[in-house]
Amino acid sequence: MEKRVVVVTGASGGIGRATALAFGARGDTVALLARGDTGLAAAAQEVRDAGGTALVVPLDVADPDAVAAAVEHIETELGPIDVWVNVAFTSVFSPFEKITPQEYKRVTEVSYLGYVYATMAVLPRMKARDRGTIVQVGSALAYRGIPLQTAYCGAKHAIQGFHEALRCELLHDKSNVHVTMVQMPAVNTPQFSWVLSRLPHQAQPVPPIYQPEFAARGVLWAADHPKRREYWVGGSTAATLAANAIAPGLLDRYLGRVGFANQQTEQKVSPDAPENLWNAADGADGRDFGARGIFDRQAVRGKGQLWASHHHGSLLAAGAATLTAAAVLLGRKR
């Protein structure tokens, strides 16, 4: 594949970091955007070691002026941006009544408006060239809200609506710029060690838990095949979205019973745990958190579902052919 200029927000850790490395391994030129200098420097070195070219751009995606300046800087240094991947987010693990208005506003500014500001900054340049792809990294929680994550779920729902509306506008314009969204499952990222938490115990992703490299493969596929409106990564994402479409009320009651316990381990929260709501988590002690979190042992593989998501057209065609053949055989027997 022809080498491209790719931008990844939230590139210092988690899915963003794994995605930046995956693009770098293909020889792409990757601009890495995040707040944490330590994580950014380490991620950039990984991209270079994998065979790519890296440009570090420290910023807060909640600052629209900084994002606009970053787009100008990247295109001046690297050339036209081919792919932009929005990943950066923050959140608060807490019952709703324990979150302050300032905290809720901050989560929304980073986790939703950060996507909007980045898209707003790069889209006019892509439209002027009539080419380019924007990948919005979403979540099963863009459709299905869960307890203890009201701010995050609200942001992901907002991104979903924003994405759908923007895609309609691009289709109306018959533009060759494409936007697509990748709905993620629970992923073993450092967020569970650095997101502000008011829970009594260590926060954890709801099993099954996937590794960030698995999620990154879904992002790369979406960037390469951006004409689909969205992709589902992980069997749990597909199951959750299907169940929510059929019986959302039952899921409300089920999550009301088990959602609190399933998002916490038995380990007490450390009073010295970092939090990244207002500042980068690696800012205090210079720690590099990497792409993976602390749940390696629980992480599962999901290659089959990822293949099915990428090749749904082939599967539908095969299913239709099978049903037709069965109908023919049944008709002959009769």
Task: Give catalytic residues, as residue numbers.
Answer: 152
User: What are the CA-CA distances from residue 130 to residues 21, 31, 99, 126 (Å)?
Assistant: 27, 21, 43, 6
State the Cα–Cα distance between residues 237 and 234, nearest whole angstrom: 5
Any idea what DSSP says for residue 296? G
| 263 DSSP 8-state letter | T
Give the single-character DSSP code of 320: H
Question: Cβ distance 13 to 37 under 8 Å?
Answer: no
In this structure, what DSSP letter does residue 207 have? Answer: S
CA nearest to 5, candidates 31, 25, 32, 36: 31
- φ, ψ dihedrals at 54, nearest 5°: -125, 140
Helices (H), the chain: 14-25, 37-49, 64-78, 101-108, 114-129, 150-172, 191-194, 212-224, 235-246, 248-262, 303-310, 312-333
Q: How distant, in Å, are the alpha carbons of 219, 241, 243, 309, 310 from that of 323?
A: 32, 26, 25, 21, 22
DSSP lists the bridge partners of residue 9 as: 33
In angstroms, rounded to a whole number, what is the distance separating the alpha carbons of residues 207 and 298?
Answer: 8
User: In DSSP terms, which residues pair with 187 in a beta bridge?
Assistant: 210
Tokens 């901050």 label which residue?
A: 106
Structure tokens at 201: 């115990």
Tell me the C-alpha distance between 289 and 69, whole Å: 27
